[in-house]
Structure 1
Amino acid sequence: MSSASTEPKTCHQCKQTISGGKCVQAMGVNWHEDHFLCQDCKSKLIGTQFMEVGGVPYCQKCYLSKHADRCKGCSKPIADKAIVALDAKWHQMCFRCSKCEKPIMKDQSFQVDGGKPHCVKC
């Protein structure tokens, strides 16, 4: 016969017992509500979108500025879907024909000349 564990919960960040306060369960561990913060800016992450890098939480803004992949076309962080082409990642609207400047859609064929994409029409 097995019994449920009655051990008190401890916070991942400070290793202290969580009692009386709210317990946040995130990334597979328990946190004191006041300790579940962005690693960089220290903003509270409860009720927000956060990203995990190496077991550490980051708010979306800090994640994008320091850890997100960068677009080959504009060098800005990629927060959403990306096009992977020519050994790089691109925003969908940044992957353009280098001759006519029209976006090359993800299901559209393209050619490469001098390491740059060209739509089939050009």
Structure 2
Amino acid sequence: MSSTMMCAKCARPFTSGSILSALDKKWHPECFVCTICKRTLADQSFHVKNDDPYCANCLKENFQPRCATCRNIIDPSEQYMTYNDRAYHKNCFTCAACHQSLAGKQFCIKDNGYYCPEHV
């Protein structure tokens, strides 16, 4: 009895052509795609989150934290801070009055804004 290998995505057998091995499974190259954008990952690097493959752009756009002030994605190499479950670039977490960085400093909350002690 012969064992026919099947694609992890489409469950069709491999009859001819390339077989891609990734995530401990076998895939038709056209079946190994980004979970979000569905673009092929056969010839590019990819990232895995919760056992699903993602292209670098979709991982960044959908899973990297965004700064609550400027709304830009915070690069994984950047140091950032969090307050009340919101992420901030260190230079974006500033006093509402003087715009000096509050990162690592004492601050007060007034009228939904953050203030250094000098401007409360």
TM-score, structure 2 as length reference: 0.63
Q: Which amino acid aligns with 2:97?
A: K
Cα distance in 2 between the residues matched to 1:8 and 1:94? 56
2:62 counterpart of 1:73:
no
Give the CA RMSD over aligned residues: 3.2
* Structure 1 alignment gaps of length 5 or more: 1-5
Measured in 1, the distance between the counterparts of 2:59 and 2:86 equals 19
Q: In the alignment, which residue of structure 2 is the partner of 1:23?
A: 20
In the alignment, the residues of structure 2 paired with residue 85 and residue 113 of structure 1 have an alpha-carbon distance, to the nearest angstrom, of 12
CA distance 1:23–1:49, shift in 2 (3 Å)? closer
How many corresponding residue pairs? Answer: 113
Please tell me whether the aligned partners of residues 21 and 27 of structure 2 are also in contact (alpha carbons under 8 angstroms).
yes
8 Å Cα contact 1:51-1:60 kept in structure 2: no
Q: 1:33 to 1:84 in 2, by over 3 A?
A: same
Instruction: Summarize the alignment of residues 1-122 of structure 1 with structure 2, pairs less than 5 Å apart.
Output: 9-18=5-14, 21-26=18-23, 28-45=24-41, 46-52=43-49, 55-80=51-76, 81=78, 82-105=80-103, 108-114=104-110, 115-119=112-116
> 1:119 Cα shift?
4.1
Specify every segment of 5 or more residues in structure 2 that has no aligned partner in the other structure, as ranges. Answer: none
Percent of matched pairs sharing the same residue: 23
